[in-house]
Chain A
Amino acid sequence: MRNDQYVIGVIVSNVSGVLSRVSGMFTRRGFNIDCLTVGETESPEFSRITVAFHGDDDIRNKILKQLEKLHDVKEVEVLDQKDTVIRELLLIKVRNSPNTRQDIMTAVEIFRSKIVDYSPTALICELTGETSKIDAFIELMKPYGIMEMCRTGIVAIERGNSCLKTSR
């Protein structure tokens, strides 16, 4: 069985409970979510959910069909990862000490990250990028002592003219 990552964009009605319905469908049908993000779209009537999951074509098709059945789901599309801008945001708090400060600064510069908070004992870096870049940066920070971190999960949008818009 192939096990690829898929990223899908879902346009849903911006009503209360819609996130439960979408995530609940995954739980109920036994599909695993890698990450899920949700936010308002250019039209306040709709929200956009980006879901990433691993699976094969069969699982992908089942997920699409089950999502399409939900009353609040207006549009679903698998985003072609070659043709899609995918980003994730990381905030990571690392221990700050005179011995490691310079190394951290160098990494921050190379990764085009930003230091957004600084205290004598801790600093917070902000980084956006594709998942692999975020993973690499976290790996790099480990030896310096990660105090806490959070990442948003991915948001994704197709390149060029094509848009995920509701036709319903």
Chain B
Amino acid sequence: MKVSGAKIVVEVLVEQGCDTVFGYPGGQVIDLFDELYLSRDRIKQILTADEQGAAHAADGFARATGKVGVCIATSGPGATNLVTGIATAGLDSVPLVAVTGNVSCDLIGRDSFQEVDIVGITMPVTKHNFIVKDIRELADTLRTAFKIAKSGRPGPVLVDIPKDVQQAVWDFEPKPDPVRPYPLSFASEIKLRKAAELINNSKRPYIYFGGGVISGKASAEIIKLADRIDAPLGSSLMGLSAVPADHPRFLGMSGMHGHYASSQAQKEADLVIAMGARFSDRSTEIGGERSYRLIHIDIDNAELDKNVISDIAIQGDIKDALYRLLPMLSETSRPEWSERITQLREKEAELLEREKHTRLPKNCGGCTVNCGRADMPESEKLAPYDIIDTISSFASENDIIVTDVGQHQMWTAQRYPFKKPRTFLTSGGLGTMGFGLGAAIGASSATGRRTILFTGDGSFGMDLNELATSVSQNTPLVIVVMNNGVLGMVRQMQTLFHGERYSNTTLCRKTDFVKVAEAFGAKGGRANNLDELSALAEEAFAYSGTYLIDCMIDCNEMVAFSDEA
């Protein structure tokens, strides 16, 4: 069958199981979008407000489902707008295929209109990338892109297709099935035995897991492990939602802004069993002296002994490794350790209660708006945890929680009662402000489920153009803006480490997010206190489309550190 390159792209996308693409048209992808138009009954096309939004949406689509997300952009600025989204997906191991158009092969290298070397630009932020200059290689290159994206530790792959290759005509041979990932690597038996010996001999084991447990579908196995060896569970930011937040063994996120009990238990443990986590610089005690021994299991060999040196490093699929490890472990109870964990939990509750009654410092740092929020009695203020509790009381356990980046992200991570894997989508590695709205749209379009976006006035200012998309897609979306008028995360560091010099973190802009929402065709309302929030939440959760709640909070609110709870 002789068809155009553009048609080949569409046929391979369908063949690979892609049912939705996010993108933005342009001069060098006209042919591709023409074919997409003709195939609109087979592939849903979501036009975003800009290409960054498309990349985040494809990312959210992939995070919510585990499938490969696909985004399409034109050459030049279209392609460069994808870069942040691709890097975001890369650092959080999200399977993504980004397709870009480029100028025709004979114009490449001549600084043609809207020409950039996107393959060169994205080389360090993709798992792999391609430019296809020969139509004969187009179909197989796209198939390989999907294969790489979903194999082993998933990641983003970019395929750059010059316009003349989209227009060229060549034979296309359809394949009946999507490509299979490369074979998984499996843990070595000897190392598993050594690990079992360490675990059986440990007095205070602690299980630390990351996002790899979600992509490796090993939630049930880590709970079995915890039960069998009577150990607490803690996670990285990316690991959240892998086990129910209210699971009796789960102590919550550990690390810089993690739960006190979780981080403390990790410090006091004599053995940490880490799985699908890469010990980023935000995790507990990175770089410091540690008193525990470490078993590290990961699908990516390069993560082992990269940031922390382990005692036993095991490369392999986590689900398989645990399945084989469990029978080697003696069923033990560790009453002393359990007792200590209980104490730590009690201490955490105590610290949390104490913090509630600590008056926030009053410092509006040169803000001229004089919102008066800092002077309000504490009891009348809208507190971040109360916002999260109220919203979660309206939400169902299938709703997908998405965040942007900043204080609201950490509050959500600390507080939200996640129940099921893939219901918490956040930019953990790259920390991309402006990730949230695009990702929420992608997640909702993939699953048809309601999505809740927790964001801040800083982050939301970076992605609010995607309101246009969520309204036109009629996305069931509740946007909760924790509006403190400042860039809170940076501001809190300025409070603590930079002598309260609030350089460029005081926004206090005149932007009215409720009117913004309405202007885009969404609904919205402002909450100054809990009663108003409840009333708005009721309306928001009854509404089928996009609803924004602008929550006014004190700019002096801080995210707790794990060492002080």
Contacts and interface: CB of A to CB of B under 8 A. Distances in A.
Interface of A: 17, 20-21, 24, 28, 58, 61-62, 65-66, 68-72
22 contacts: A17-B120, A20-B120, A20-B123, A21-B123, A24-B123, A24-B124, A28-B124, A58-B309, A61-B305, A62-B305, A62-B306, A65-B301, A65-B304, A65-B306, A66-B302, A68-B301, A69-B300, A70-B128, A71-B127, A71-B128, A71-B148, A72-B128
Interface residues of B, number: 15
Nearest to B124: A28
Given A20-B120, A24-B123, A71-B148, A58 B302 contact: no
Nearest to A63: B302
Contacts of A71: 127-128, 148
A72 B148 CA distance: 12
Nearest to A21: B123
A64 to B, nearest CB: 9
A145 B365 CA distance: 65
Contacts of B120: 17, 20
B94 to A, nearest CB: 17
B530 interface: no
A62 B127 contact: no
Nearest to A66: B302
A132 to B, nearest CB: 32
A66 B301 CA distance: 9
From B124, B302, B309, residue with most partner A Cβ within 10 Å: B302
A65 B119 contact: no
Given A68-B301, A69-B300, A69-B302, 12 more contacts: A17-B120, A17-B123, A20-B123, A58-B309, A61-B305, A62-B302, A62-B305, A65-B301, A65-B302, A65-B304, A69-B301, A71-B128
Nearest to B133: A16
A69 B185 CA distance: 13
Main secondary structure of the interface of A (DSSP, over half): helix
A121 B553 CA distance: 81
A25 B441 CA distance: 34
Contacts of B300: 69
B134 to A, nearest CB: 12
A59 to B, nearest CB: 11
Contacts of A17: 119-120, 123, 131
Contacts of A69: 300-302
Contact of A68 (B127, B128, B302): B302
A24 B124 CA distance: 7
Nearest to A17: B119
B384 to A, nearest CB: 37
Contacts of B302: 62, 65-66, 68-69
Contacts of B305: 58, 61-62
Contacts of B131: 17
A70 B126 CA distance: 10
A85 B206 CA distance: 49
Contacts of A24: 123-124
A134 B123 CA distance: 35
Interface string B88-128: 00000000000000000000000000000001100110011
- Across chains A and B, which 3 residue pairs bring their CB atoms closest together, nearest first? A65-B302, A71-B128, A28-B124
Contacts of A61: 305
A20 B119 CA distance: 11
A65 B127 CA distance: 14
Contacts of B309: 58
A65 to B, nearest CB: 4
A72 B127 CA distance: 11
Nearest to A16: B131
Contacts of A58: 305, 309
A20 B120 CA distance: 8
A15 to B, nearest CB: 9
A140 B110 CA distance: 46
A167 B298 CA distance: 24
Contacts of A66: 302
Contacts of B127: 71
Nearest to A27: B124
Contacts of B148: 71
Interface in B286-345: 300-302, 304-306, 309
Nearest to A15: B130
A73 to B, nearest CB: 11
A154 to B, nearest CB: 26
Contacts of B304: 65
Interface string B132-160: 00000000000000001000000000000
A56 to B, nearest CB: 12
A61 B306 CA distance: 9
Contacts of A68: 301-302
A28 B302 CA distance: 14
A66 B302 CA distance: 6
A156 to B, nearest CB: 24
A21 B127 CA distance: 11
A69 B304 CA distance: 13
Contacts of B306: 62, 65
B160 to A, nearest CB: 11
Contacts of B128: 70-72
A7 B132 CA distance: 33
A52 to B, nearest CB: 21
From B119, B131, B304, B306, residue with most partner A Cβ within 10 Å: B306
Contacts of A70: 128
B294 to A, nearest CB: 15
A20 B148 CA distance: 19
A21 B301 CA distance: 19
Interface in B410-468: none
A66 B306 CA distance: 10
A17 B129 CA distance: 10
Contacts of B301: 65, 68-69
A71 B128 CA distance: 7
Contacts of B124: 24, 28
A20 B126 CA distance: 13
From A58, A66, A71, residue with most partner B Cβ within 10 Å: A71
A69 B298 CA distance: 14
